[in-house]
Amino acid sequence: MITLLKNGRIYDPTSGKDGVVQDIYIKNGRIIAKPSASEKITQTYDLTGKVVMAGAIDMHSHIGGGKVNIARMMLPEYQETKKYTEPEAHICTPSCSHNATPSATDTGFRYIEMGYTAAFEPALMPVNARQTHLEMADTPMIDKGGYAMLGNDDYFLRMLTAKKDQKAINDYVAWILNATQSIGIKVVNPGGINAFKFNQRRLDLDENNSHYQVTPREILKSLSTAVHQLGIAKPLHVHCNNLGAAGNFQTTLDTMSASDGVPMHLTHIQFHSYGTEGDKKFSSAAAQISEALNKNKHITADVGQILFGQTVTASGDNMMQQLNAKHANPKKSVIMDIECDAGCGVVPFRYKDQNYVNALQWAIGLEIFLSVEDPWRIFLTTDHPNGAPFTSYPHLIRLLMDKTFRNEAFAKLNLDAQAMSNLTSLDREYSLYDIAIMTRAGAANLIGLNDRGHLGVGAGADITIYTDQADREAMFAKPDYVFKDGELVVKDGKVVKVVWGATHTAKPAFDIAVEKDLKDYFDKYHTMQLDSFKINDDEISNDGRGSIIVHENKKVSH
Amino acid sequence: MKPSINTTLPITHCCPACGLLCDDLVLNSTSPVIIKNACVKSVSFFEKAFAESTCKPSVAGKPTDLNSAIQAAANILNKASYPLFAGLGTEVQGMRSIMRLAEKTSATLDHMHSEGTVRNTLAMQNSGWQTTTLTEIKNRADVILAIGTDIVSSYPRFFEKLVLNTDTLFTRPKPEVIYLGLAEEAVKLPEIMNTLNALMNAKNPLNKKPDNDIIGGVTIASLKLILEKLKAAKYGVVVWSASALKFPQAELTVQSITQLISKLNESNRVAGLPLNSGDGDSSVNNTSTWLSGYPTRNRFVNGHPEYDAYHFSTKRQLVSSDALLWVSTFNAYLPPDSEAPTIVIGHPDMQFEKQPDVFIPVGIPGVDHVGTMFRMDSSVAMPLKKLRETELPSLSDVICQIEAKLS
């Protein structure tokens, strides 16, 4: 069985191919070199004139787990907004769901229909890992994976206070990756979620958690070092302190230096790029943030673009969500402290283009996209569903690729916000090659998915084929074909075959002795046994449809 | 047939008898079944599970083989236009299969304990809430206000594990426990909760009432004292049992509780803990939510999920449904009376007064097969182990086979 994709225009940044016309051969789910003349080609797709990219990878999207399910449960009215058609909504296609809280099934279908073949849940709470994997297992069509949240758990903070050495920290981090079947480590409001349980309401980068007497900076240093020394490809995923607060850009700038040059990824950086200038004491600090990103080569970021319409914010950051709850629309929120592990805050939001702050948030995100020079270090996200549902990506891509379209949208914004943004002075338009970097090659490279995000020989045959259209939103909303592991699964924007995808993990080695102290901790302070906490491979793969892919660590560099 | 006991016993085990899902039980193969960390509920659960029981399916009361029973069940569902899937006493894996069958048969879904669940869900959907989980309580709680529940009747080891524990991460005094609205006093809770909320506002005239005035059976002085204790708490916890609030519009009382918690949080940390009722209610609600977008009470119409916490109740649907599928795998709970053809899939110990059209005994999760369950705080899902070899199929096996026979 060999499938031939003939004459397509290839955009494959990993191999530097920018619109090169080339054939692709697929066999047993993988891209292969041109077979010998004696081998039979079973199927041929003539892709003359079509745009061919690897399947897209969403490196940060809240697709499953406790807070996502709470959002669904709290907002049954959202299921009715699937055919959302009011003018401020970011419409992609008539069939597209604009639901901010899609079911697991809808999540998989909507992603693959847009040509995305993988999505990563960035806030997998270790104690809630089983639920997250259950939901991801029920998400069809795409590959998935999770970043385990650390840095607010009492076990880790006790270690820091006790001045445990870096090796002990590394063993714990490696153990967590194994136990929770995750591929990366995330920290949310370092130390802040924990501090909130001691009634601290804000925590700055160099401010002590009142109980543990450790600062967010120390937490970031310790965790980023552990991830780096363990050779985990995915740099520490950082949701900075002071999310959403006016003036927080200084915290974000300072955070970039917290790891002493060790790689870190700052997530949904738009929500952390706010100044305090102007009459309303809320301004864009996109210029300062972008300049710092351009300068600090060890830092990567995804944007967390907001788009106008109804959505819900679901975060581990209950400290800041408690403060944001007063802006909830509709007026309700769930705030939780969870298991001496972390917390969550779920707050519905409705971003309005005539609201000064919302309009400026929209502009700030785009300013960052257009001002960060290296597309390999900036990623396209809406922090689904926090900035907007992921179904709005085609619209966002058009905003990046089409300056006229962008400036027309800008002209409709709240006038005070327009006066506070330099967006129209930014002439940059993203190319197809840039988009392929941000949504494919760069994302795969960041997470360490060596056989995804590119079209080279040996790559998994996750491939998306578009008709080149001037309207980039229409183009990216509805690919002609999507192949998942070599199988045709979407034709003309509709699913033609249901597949289940795999779960990507990293399982670095660790000293098993780490479990001795952990067992003692669980027995004394937890309400479950250590063994129940760990997710066995069987739990993901024994239903015959899930599977686990373990990624090799990078070379360890000390 | 007597199921054979797994020879690897004694074994550390997770107990699905209540929402705490204690996983530190040690079970043995000989009586007494539980040799460590037993409670009244777990003993009863495992003794019933290990009791000798009939394992034969039946159709119209006559014993038959599994295939014939499955065919008979499929025949009933094939003829039905509006089937009701009720009881739903199962765990995650069972619920996954039930959801698939419901989608294919356009069924309505409701859990046997949803009266209480729905009160909480409605309050949460109206205003949200601020809550906590068991391990936080174990290590932090210094004041516990229990509303409409003594907690221990539903969760026998709650105090042993979370209140009387001496090992804690943070030094705390022995938690003070305050009870409000127990048993028949529960009907006074709407008035009591509204008064507590009013007393939170210093300008409210209720604050000027004499201390010995009585509202809802409690003196103003006592209510003020409760608030003082909660305000002084480092980590106060308000526990409530929605199933105990057996009066109309009880969701408003739940909301009154969550509103008080929210107000208290403006100055200090207080969090809620809504109790569940068991039989997999938290598991079923969570699974339904991620698979369909909706918690139960919901239904599928031509593959599309719909939600209505009022109309899709078992009581209302029994009037119009043309088939009833009753599921109860943890306990031998019997189905409600129904005119419609009735399929029962559940605990092998079921003894019927009126024989259902089809009865298929299945394995007990956490005894006869592995499974996954959500704890009462919904933040932790626990793996259930298999304890013995048995001929009983699992619920999901049976449901999948019925699904395969649908026309």
C-alpha radius of gyration, chain A, whole number: 22
Closest C-alpha among A78, A69, A116 to residue A97: A78
Position B32 scores a pLDDT of 63
Mean pLDDT of chain B: 94
- Of chain A, the percentage scoring pLDDT greater than 70 comes to 96
Q: Count CB atoms within 10 A of the CB of residue A308.
A: 25
Cβ contact (<8 Å) for B294 and A74? no
Chain B residue numbers touching A346 (CB-CB < 8 A): 128
Query: Which among B126, B128, B269 has the least Cβ separation from residue A197?
Result: B269
Distance CA B194, CA A414 (A): 42
Cβ contact (<8 Å) for B125 and A332? yes
Chain B residue numbers touching A197 (CB-CB < 8 A): 136, 140, 235, 269
HEC assignment per residue over B281-338: HHHHHHHHHHHHCCCCCEEEECCEEEECCCCCCHHHHHHHCCEEEEEECCCCCCCCCC
Distance from CA of B264 to the nearest CA of A (A): 12
Residue of B380, B382, B386, B400 for testing the chain A interface, max A β-carbons within 10 Å: B380
Residues sharing a CB contact under 8 Å with residue B156, sequence separation 6 or more, in sequence order? B18, B39, B40, B41, B42
Assign B34 a pLDDT band (cuts: 50, 70, 90): confident
- Please, where are the H alpha helices in A46-85? 66-74
Please provide the distance, in angstroms rounded to a whole number, between the alpha carbons at the two ends of chain A: 45
Q: Has domain A56-447 been given CATH number 3.20.20?
A: yes
B1 pLDDT more than 70: no
What residue ranges do the domains of chain A occupy? 56-447, 505-551
ipTM: 0.96
DSSP codes joined into one string, B188-222: GHHHHHHHHHHHTSTTSGGGGS-TT-EETTEEHHH
Cβ contact (<8 Å) for B265 and A64? no
Distance CA B25, CA B7 (A): 17
Chain A residue numbers touching B136 (CB-CB < 8 A): 197, 337-340
For residue range B275-321, what is the model confidence (pLDDT) as tens digits? Answer: 999 999 999 999 999 999 999 999 999 888 999 999 999 999 999 99
For residue range B132-160, what is the model confidence (pLDDT) as tens digits? Answer: 999 999 999 999 999 999 999 999 999 99
Distance from CA of A521 to the nearest CA of B (A): 9
DSSP codes joined into one string, A211-269: TT---HHHHHHHHHHHHHHTT-SSPEEEE-SSTT-TTTHHHHHHHHTTTTTS-EEE-SG
Chain B residue numbers touching A107 (CB-CB < 8 A): none
HEC assignment per residue over A466-479: EECCCCHHHHHHCC
Cβ contact (<8 Å) for B132 and A346? no
CATH topology of domain B117-274: Dimethylsulfoxide Reductase; domain 2 (3.40.228)
Cβ contact (<8 Å) for A532 and B374? no
Cβ contact (<8 Å) for B136 and A333? no
Contact B209, B199 (CB under 8 A): no
Give the containing element (helix H, strand E) for A20: strand A17-27
Cβ contact (<8 Å) for B133 and A337? yes
Contact A67, A484 (CB under 8 A): no
For residue range A97-132, what is the model confidence (pLDDT) as tens digits? Answer: 568 999 999 999 999 999 999 999 999 999 999 999
Nearest residue in B to A124, CA atom: B379
Position A82 scores a pLDDT of 54
Query: Which among B168, B235, B307 has the least Cβ separation from residue A76?
Result: B307
What residue ranges do the domains of chain B occupy? 4-45, 54-113+279-404, 117-274
pTM over 0.90: yes
Distance from CA of B237 to the nearest CA of A (A): 11
How many Cβ contacts (< 8 angstroms) between chains A and B? Answer: 161
Chain B residue numbers touching A342 (CB-CB < 8 A): none
- Of chain B, the percentage scoring pLDDT greater than 70 comes to 96
Q: What phi and psi, each to the nearest 5 degrees, are found at residue A276?
A: -125, 20
- The encoded tokens of residue A195 equal 């501090």
Residue of B11, B135, B267, B287 for testing the chain A interface, max A β-carbons within 10 Å: B135
Domain B54-113+279-404 -> CATH class: alpha beta
Q: Which of B25-34, B84-93, B152-161, B194-203 has the least mean pLDDT?
A: B25-34
- The encoded tokens of residue B230 equal 């909660």
- Of chain B, the percentage scoring pLDDT greater than 90 comes to 89
Whose tokens are 């449960």? That residue is A73
Assign B31 a pLDDT band (cuts: 50, 70, 90): low
Assign A196 a pLDDT band (cuts: 50, 70, 90): very high
Assign A66 a pLDDT band (cuts: 50, 70, 90): very high
For residue range A515-553, what is the model confidence (pLDDT) as tens digits? Answer: 999 999 999 999 999 999 999 999 998 777 899 999 987
